[in-house]
């Protein structure tokens, strides 16, 4: 499924540097807590899936279920951090006005390109120059 979605994004936006792409999701935040006598239920925001494209200009975020995309230029980023825990990682992007947090999949079964692309991007520090 992810491979097909990637092919659609590459074709739709005419992406040529396919080794600059990684896959991830937003980090859903709790939006409601429902206490009951037996258990406490926590409801979370919707999980959204993205492809992240890195280059010398910045990070372009392609939502898998959306028609639009957003580019955050490196010059607008005040802090960029990529951390790795087990098979997941976290990416934090801080700009003057906002802070974005994403969960990055370091590997997905049936998608060897994710691990290969991640290693390629780590080698070049995700093109982050600050």
Average pLDDT of the residues in 81-85:
84
pLDDT digits (tens, 9 = 90+) for 18-44: 899 999 988 866 677 788 888 777 776
* Neighbouring C-alpha atoms within 13 Å toward the C-beta of 26: 15
Structure tokens given for 26: 């937003």
For residue 117, the model assigns a pLDDT of 93
The CATH architecture that domain 2-121 belongs to is Roll (2.30)
Nearest to 125 by CA among 71, 79, 81: 81
Q: Looking at the predicted structure, is the pLDDT value of residue 66 above 80?
A: no
């Amino acid at each position: 499924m992810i491979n097909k979605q990637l092919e659609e994004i590459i074709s739709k936006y005419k992406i040529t540097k396919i080794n600059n792409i990684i896959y991830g999701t937003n980090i859903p935040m709790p939006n409601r807590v429902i206490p009951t006598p037996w258990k406490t239920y926590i409801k979370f925001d919707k999980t959204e899936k993205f492809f992240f494209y890195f280059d010398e200009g910045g990070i372009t975020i392609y939502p898998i279920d959306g028609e639009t995309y957003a580019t955050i230029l490196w010059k607008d980023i005040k802090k960029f951090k990529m951390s790795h825990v087990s098979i997941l990682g976290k990416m934090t992007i801080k700009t003057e006005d906002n802070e974005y947090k994403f969960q990055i999949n370091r590997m997905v079964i049936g998608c060897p390109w994710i691990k290969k692309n991640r290693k390629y991007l780590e080698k070049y520090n995700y093109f982050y120059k600050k």
